[in-house]
Amino acid sequence: MEELVGKLWHRFITRAADREHAEAAVSLEEVTGTVGILFRALGGDGGLEVATAEQTPYGATRGWLARIASGQRRVALAWRDAQTLRLPERIALFADRDLNRDLYLWLAALAAAEDGAPLPRAWLPRNQELTRRTLARFPGMEPRYRRLVAAHLPLRPAPDALPPEAAAQEQALRAALREPGAVAELPLAPALPEPVPLWLHPSPPLADSVAPGPDTGDADDPEREAAPEREVDRRRSAEVTESPEGRDGLLGIRMENIFSWAEYVKVDRTTEEDDSGDAARTLDDMERLTVARDNRSVASRLRFDLDLPAAGYDDLPLGEGIPLPEWDYRRRTLLRDHCRLQLMEARDAQPCDLPPALARTARKLRTQFEALAPARTWYRGQAEGSEVDLDAYLHFLTEKRHGRVSAELGLYRDFRSGTRDLACLLLADLSLSTDASVNDEARIIDVIRDSMFLFAESLSATGDRFALYGFSSRHRSHVRFQLLKGFDEAYSPRVRGRLAAVKPGYYTRMGAAIRHATTLLSAQAASRQLLLLITDGKPNDLDHYEGRYGIEDTRMAILEARRAGLFPFCVTVDREAGDYLPHLFGPAGFIVIRRPEDLPRELPLLYMRLTA
């Protein structure tokens, strides 16, 4: 009975103290696309990812009802760092849903204004300057800002009901909101003022600054790919510590210190896995994470498994390695000869026919693509040909009578096939992540292999010049570039044997592979050159080539391809690709295949649309 009464009391007092408007709430998930587009359109750093802001403790004075309802107050305010733009997971500040949505857009515009001239370091002048800068650069945002201020001020504490020092603070904040730049500094008071949700965080978490030690993780780890997806990418405070002695993971504290157990719970995730989901629930309950390494992690063993095989069992290297540059976005410089690319050919590839399971689809696609083959037509004004061009001959006689005969005049015509004058290089991601299952019968690598089979069958019907390559990597010193079909080769059983022999392995250093593909494709004399990339995830590798670094190097490689006159286009099966591919390829430079098993059928048809 006591427990029931306690639950009822907690529910009542929590609802009484709750100032949110749940019925008008807007979630970040609803507006992520719009916010990302607006942030980049207003000049924000295109490499930043939009993610959820962590709720952080906030020490402002609260009323007695709020103190009874909960212990420490936590708020989610917007902020950004070098990797992400962090916005609240949910906004229910106003009773009007449109205002809550406008607040998301305003915060994105405010964060975009940080990319510009240096800003004051103090919280109050910094946010005022950001507001002034945003309103000056984008006058269309002012009506939205004024509506937000007008709706927010009545929700703030009334200065008349506050102690003198707190009232002075509140008056200063209200003046700064109404007229950004009007307040030079915040008056001193015993407690912090109420948070300002229209501004960026006064002291954002510094979780990115925690260095967990040498990198032993791997984004291509199949066990990580198979893990259940988290609903919210939540940022938490963290610290690094030495690993406690012992492997049992038991709680090593004395009973007199039992009140500290909620602050320190040793969750040993490196030596024993738990599929029950308890670890995820424990993680959600922890406010601060302590990370330690004991050199027995799964990632370390996986990295050992990804060591290169002996030369007698590995694919055949073709020639010496090729040095390639890499873009370091932090230093904004191109590192010369930073990577080494090795052209490879499958050792055990045997000539073969098209897999029987693909024969029917291949026949249908060949029929469709044969319609793209240029028809035979008359070529006029030729220096030699199958017969005299009467129009050219009459023109010749007319010019001759007037004494104006051209020495370069062609008097013949010839009947021959036309030409589409285009070249395509298909570059496939063969990293270990493609070993993940699509369904009970196939893996991503099987889907990619079938796609390349049907792609080659289709293009061989048009006569278009095309090449097929795959890539993976193990550190910058060994970027593997798998030869499947060169431009100078015919599509033959030997090429099909190479396609049948492709297998997943290693990591995804995408920038180096794109740069070498650009060199090969640029050497083709064609009026249009299409660089088609198939992948299943972000660029990553063993070293620092992950996150923002890998994204920016890949983006620079794509920009270099465009400057060379190529048309890069990405086909991906990664459902989260919308978070980063617009920054890499532009809004119209990629397509996401929601059902990976549809890729073999969709890829040739996509090529048809791109080259029609």
Residue 577 maps to a domain: yes
Enumerate residues 6+ apart whose C-beta is below 8 A from 256: none
Q: Specify if 311 maps to a domain.
A: no
Cβ atoms within 10 Å, residue 138 = 18
Q: 108 and 233, same structural domain?
A: no
Last residue in a domain, options 181, 205, 229: 205
One domain, residues 262 and 239: yes
- Asked if 412 and 445 sit in the same domain, the reply is no
Identify whether residues 429 and 403 lie together within a single domain. Answer: no
Question: For position 396, what pLDDT does the model report?
Answer: 80
Residue 467 domain boundaries: 317-370+420-611
Look at residue 504 and tell me whether its pLDDT is greater than 80.
yes
pTM of the model: 0.64
Mean pLDDT, rounded, for 279-295: 55
Tell me, yes or no, whether 279 and 329 share the same domain. Answer: no
| 435 within 8 A of 398, measured Cβ to Cβ | no
CATH number, residue 571: 3.40.50.410
Query: Is 312 contained in some domain?
Result: no
- Give a yes or no: residue 286 inside a domain: yes
- Domain boundary among the residues 205, 224, 259 is at 205
**In this structure, are 156 and 185 located in the same domain?**
yes
Same domain, 325 and 359: yes
Report the first-to-last Cα separation within the chain, whole angstroms: 74
223 versus 463: which is more confidently predicted?
463
In a domain, 310, yes or no: no
The confidence score (pLDDT) of residue 610 equals: 87
| Same domain for 231 and 133 | no
Summary mean pLDDT of the chain:
79
Dihedral sign, Cα of residue 110, residue 115, residue 121, residue 126: negative
337 pLDDT more than 50: yes
Pairing of strands 288-291, 316-317: unpaired
77 and 146: one domain? yes
Q: How confident is the model at residue 327 (pLDDT cuts 50, 70, 90)?
A: very high
- On whether residue 254 sits in a domain, the answer given is yes
Give the position of tokens 């290297």.
Answer: 317
Range with the lowest mean pLDDT among 77-91, 282-296, 354-368, 456-470?
A: 282-296
Number of compact structural domains in the chain: 4
Mean pLDDT to the nearest integer, 415-440:
82
Q: Is residue 457 part of a domain?
A: yes
Q: Which residue has the tokens 């979780």?
A: 207
Is 238 within 8 Å of 207 (Cβ atoms)?
A: yes
Same domain, 199 and 231: no
> 557 vs 393, which has greater pLDDT?
557
Q: Are 198 and 77 in the same domain?
A: yes
Per-residue model confidence (pLDDT) at position 359: 93
Can you tell me the mean pLDDT for 148-171?
Answer: 90
Residues 291, 325 within the same domain: no
Residue 556: inside a domain: yes
